[in-house]
C-alpha cells in the first residue's frame, strides 16, 4: 500500500473539517487538498519530475503539510531542513540533493538568495512570503496553477520519498534516504502508538520536521493538525486548553519546560489522551512529576534519522515502573518498536548478553535505504540489513533498552571511562538547569578532564551542581569545571555540537 495522496481522503469525506492550524491561519481539508494540487501542478510546470528532491527551509507554517502532500502527489521527494542550520551550511546539502527548487520562509529567503550562485543545481527559489526580485512568490505560483489533481506517477515501494539530515556532530551531516515503504512503516507505527482517529486534534509543539512521518496517515484519517510557530510553555498550554488537544507530538525538552512552568496548574488539560516524547529521556524524578500531573499518557521514544522509531516506553510501561515494582524502567527507552530488532554488540560487533554495555545495533522495515550519494558511509553503517547506531546501551532480561550515550562522546580519565550522558542526567536533576552538555577536554596528549557546560533558567551555582554529581557518580566522573553559557552550538537536527563547545573552551 502506497499512500500517495494524503489529502484526498479527508477532503472528500469531510471537506469543511479543519485540517491545519498554524498561527492565525486555518485551512479546511478541501483547501489543503486544492492548494496541494495547485503546488503539485506548479512544480511539474517548473520542470520537476518523479524522483527530484524539493528542499524546504522554513519555520513551522500552514503551508508545510501542503508542500509535503504536493511532493507525494507528484512522486517528488522532500528534504526539509531545520531553521537552526546556517544558510552557508545548507549549500553542500542542497547541492547533494541536486535540488532544482528550494522553498523558503520569508525569514530565510534573504540570506539564502545571497548564496544562490553557490547552488549548483538550483534553478528556482520560492518564497512563502513576498520577496520581489529574489524569489518566486509562493501564492502567485499557486494562483497560476490548476486545482485539479495532478497526473498519477508510477510509484513503487523503493522509490525515494524523504531525505533527512543526520546530526553532523563530528562533521558535515549525512543525508538519509527514506523510501515509500520506510515512510509508510514510520507512519503506521506513530499512528498505532498514538491511536490516531479522525476526531483527534493533533498538536506538534516542535519543529514540523520531527512529525512528518505521521502526516501520511494523520491527514488520510482526517485529523486536525496544529503546527505552532511559538513554543513558550504558556502558548503550548493555552493551545491544549483552547483547542481541546487530544494527541501531542513533542520533545523531552518541551515537557521539561512545562514541568518547570509556574502556571502549569492553571490550565485544563483533561482532553489529552496521548503524548509522544522524542529526544533524550527525562530523569526519573521528572518522569515521576510528569505522570503525577498528566497521568499515564506518555510514550517515550528512541528515534534517530536512520530509523524511527527504534524503541518505545509506553503508558503501560510507565505504570508497571511506578506501580509494579520496576522503577528502574523509568531510566529506559522501552522495548523495540513494531518490526524492529535491537541487539547490543561488542567492539568486534559480536552479540553481547543482558546488562552488558555495547553498541546499539538495529534492523527493521523502518530503516533507511542508505545515505544519499554516499555509498561508503552506507556500507560502513549498514551491513546485511543491520544498522550500527554509534549509541552505547544495554538490554535487560525483559528486553528494555537503556541508553548510555554516544561511543564518540566517552571520556577517558586516567584508566577510567566516563559516560557523559550519566553525568548530564545527574546535573539535570537541578530544576534551574535547562540544558547541559558534558564533554572531555584534552589535558596533555592522552588524558582528558570532564567539563560540564550548563544553560540555566535561574540562579544556580557550580557547587550546587557538583553536590548532585557527587551524590550520583564516582569521583572520577564528577566534572572538574562547570561552564555557564547562554546557548549551545547545535546541528540541524537540534543536537549539541560538543566539538565546537570544546574548541570554544580551549580558545578562551
**Is 207 contained in some domain?**
no
Peptide bond between residue 229 and the one before it cis (omega within 30 degrees of 0): no
Average pLDDT over residues 362-385: 95
**Is 45 contained in some domain?**
yes
Peptide bond between residue 309 and the one before it cis (omega within 30 degrees of 0): yes
Q: What is the pLDDT of residue 110?
A: 86
Q: What is the pLDDT of residue 375?
A: 95
Beta strand pairing status for 18-22 and 433-443?
A: unpaired
Beta strand pairing status for 247-251 and 201-203?
A: parallel
Beta strand pairing status for 224-226 and 247-251?
A: unpaired
Specify the CATH number for the domain of residue 153.
3.40.50.12780
**Is 368 contained in some domain?**
no
Q: What is the pLDDT of residue 76?
A: 95
**Is 94 contained in some domain?**
yes
Given a cut of 90, whether residue 313 has pLDDT beyond it is yes
Given a cut of 80, whether residue 322 has pLDDT beyond it is yes
Each residue of 115-126: pLDDT tens digit? 999 999 999 999
- Segment of 36-40, 186-190, 322-326 carrying the highest mean pLDDT: 36-40
- Let me know: does 180 contact 159? Beta carbons within 8 Å: yes
**Chosen domain end from 190, 213, 235:** 190
Confidence tier at 458 by pLDDT (50, 70, 90): confident
Query: Which string of b and e fits 349-383 if b means at least 16 CB within 10 Å?
Result: eeeeeeeeebbbbbbbbbbbbbbbebeeebeebbe
Given a cut of 80, whether residue 131 has pLDDT beyond it is no
Q: What is the span of the domain harbouring residue 71?
A: 17-190
End-to-end CA gap in the chain: 56
Average pLDDT over residues 97-111: 92
Specify the CATH number for the domain of residue 436.
3.30.300.30
**Is 2 contained in some domain?**
no
Per the structure, the count of domains in the chain is: 2
**Is 229 contained in some domain?**
no
**Is 344 contained in some domain?**
no
Q: What is the pLDDT of residue 171?
A: 56
Cα 9 to Cα 4: distance, rounded to the nearest angstrom: 11
**Chosen domain end from 190, 211, 238:** 190
Counting beta carbons within 10 angstroms of the beta carbon of residue 264, is it exposed (0 to 12), middle (13 to 18) or buried (19 or more)?
middle
Each residue of 351-366: pLDDT tens digit? 999 999 999 999 999 9
Confidence tier at 487 by pLDDT (50, 70, 90): confident
Each residue of 261-274: pLDDT tens digit? 999 999 999 999 99
**Chosen domain end from 190, 212, 245:** 190
Given a cut of 90, whether residue 205 has pLDDT beyond it is yes
Given a cut of 80, whether residue 300 has pLDDT beyond it is yes
**Is 27 contained in some domain?**
yes
Amino acid at each position: 500500500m502506497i499512500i500517495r495522496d494524503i489529502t484526498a481522503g479527508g477532503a472528500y469525506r469531510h471537506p469543511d473539517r479543519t485540517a491545519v492550524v498554524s498561527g492565525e491561519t486555518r485551512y479546511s481539508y478541501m483547501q489543503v487538498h486544492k492548494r496541494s494540487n495547485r503546488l503539485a501542478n506548479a512544480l511539474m510546470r517548473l520542470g520537476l519530475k518523479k524522483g527530484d528532491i524539493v528542499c524546504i527551509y522554513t519555520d513551522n507554517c500552514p503551508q508545510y503539510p501542503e508542500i509535503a502532500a504536493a511532493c507525494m502527489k507528484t512522486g517528488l521527494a522532500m528534504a526539509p531542513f531545520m531553521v537552526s542550520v546556517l544558510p552557508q551550511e545548507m549549500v553542500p546539502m542542497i547541492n547533494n540533493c541536486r535540488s532544482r527548487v528550494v522553498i523558503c520562509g520569508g525569514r530565510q529567503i534573504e540570506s539564502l538568495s545571497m548564496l544562490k550562485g553557490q547552488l549548483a543545481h538550483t534553478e528556482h527559489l520560492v518564497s512563502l512570503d513576498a520577496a520581489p526580485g529574489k524569489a518566486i512568490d509562493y501564492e502567485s505560483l499557486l494562483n497560476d496553477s490548476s486545482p485539479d489533481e495532478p497526473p498519477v506517477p508510477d510509484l513503487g515501494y523503493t522509490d525515494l520519498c524523504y531525505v533527512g539530515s543526520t546530526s553532523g556532530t563530528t562533521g558535515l551531516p549525512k543525508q538519509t534516504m527514506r523510501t515509500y515503504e520506510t515512510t509508510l512503516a514510520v507512519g503506521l507505527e506513530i499512528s498505532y502508538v498514538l491511536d490516531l482517529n479522525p476526531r483527534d486534534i493533533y498538536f506538534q509543539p516542535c519543529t514540523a520536521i520531527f512529525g512528518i512521518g505521521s502526516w501520511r496517515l494523520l491527514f488520510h484519517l482526517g485529523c486536525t493538525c496544529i503546527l505552532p510557530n511559538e513554543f513558550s510553555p504558556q502558548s503550548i498550554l493555552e493551545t491544549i486548553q483552547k483547542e481541546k488537544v487530544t494527541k501531542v507530538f513533542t520533545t523531552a525538552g518541551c515537557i521539561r519546560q512545562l514541568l518547570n512552568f509556574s502556571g502549569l496548574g492553571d490550565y485544563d488539560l483533561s482532553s489529552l489522551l496521548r503524548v509522544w516524547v522524542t529526544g533524550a529521556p527525562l530523569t526519573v524524578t521528572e518522569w515521576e512529576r510528569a505522570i503525577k500531573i498528566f497521568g499515564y499518557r506518555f510514550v517515550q521514544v528512541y528515534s534517530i534519522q536512520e530509523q524511527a522509531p527504534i524503541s518505545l516506553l509506553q503508558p503501560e510501561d510507565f505504570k508497571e515502573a511506578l506501580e509494579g515494582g520496576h522503577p528502574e524502567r523509568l531510566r529506559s527507552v522501552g522495548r523495540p518498536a513494531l518490526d524492529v530488532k535491537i541487539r547490543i554488540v561488542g567492539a568486534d560487533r559480536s552479540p553481547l548478553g543482558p546488562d552488558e554495555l555495547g553498541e546499539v545495533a538495529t534492523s527493521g522495515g523502518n530503516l533507511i535505504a542508505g545515505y544519499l550519494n554516499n555509498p561508503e558511509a552506507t556500507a560502513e553503517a549498514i551491513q546485511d540489513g543491520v544498522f550500527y547506531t554509534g549509541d552505547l546501551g544495554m538490554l535487560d532480561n525483559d528486553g528494555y533498552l537503556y541508553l548510555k550515550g554516544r561511543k564518540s562522546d566517552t571520556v577517558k580519565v586516567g584508566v577510567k571511562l566516563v559516560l557523559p550522558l550519566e553525568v548530564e542526567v545527574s546535573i539535570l536533576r537541578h530544576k534551574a538547569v535547562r540544558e547541559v552538555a558534558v564533554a572531555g577536554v584534552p589535558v596533555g596528549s592522552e588524558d582528558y578532564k570532564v567539563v560540564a557546560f550548563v544553560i540555566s533558567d535561574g540562579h544556580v551555582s557550580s557547587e550546587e551542581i557538583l553536590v548532585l554529581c557527587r551524590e550520583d557518580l564516582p569521583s572520577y566522573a564528577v566534572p572538574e569545571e562547570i561552564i555557564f553559557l547562554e546557548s549551545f552550538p547545535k546541528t540541524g537536527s537540534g543536537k549539541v555540537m560538543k566539538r565546537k563547545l570544546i574548541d570554544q573552551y580551549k580558545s578562551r
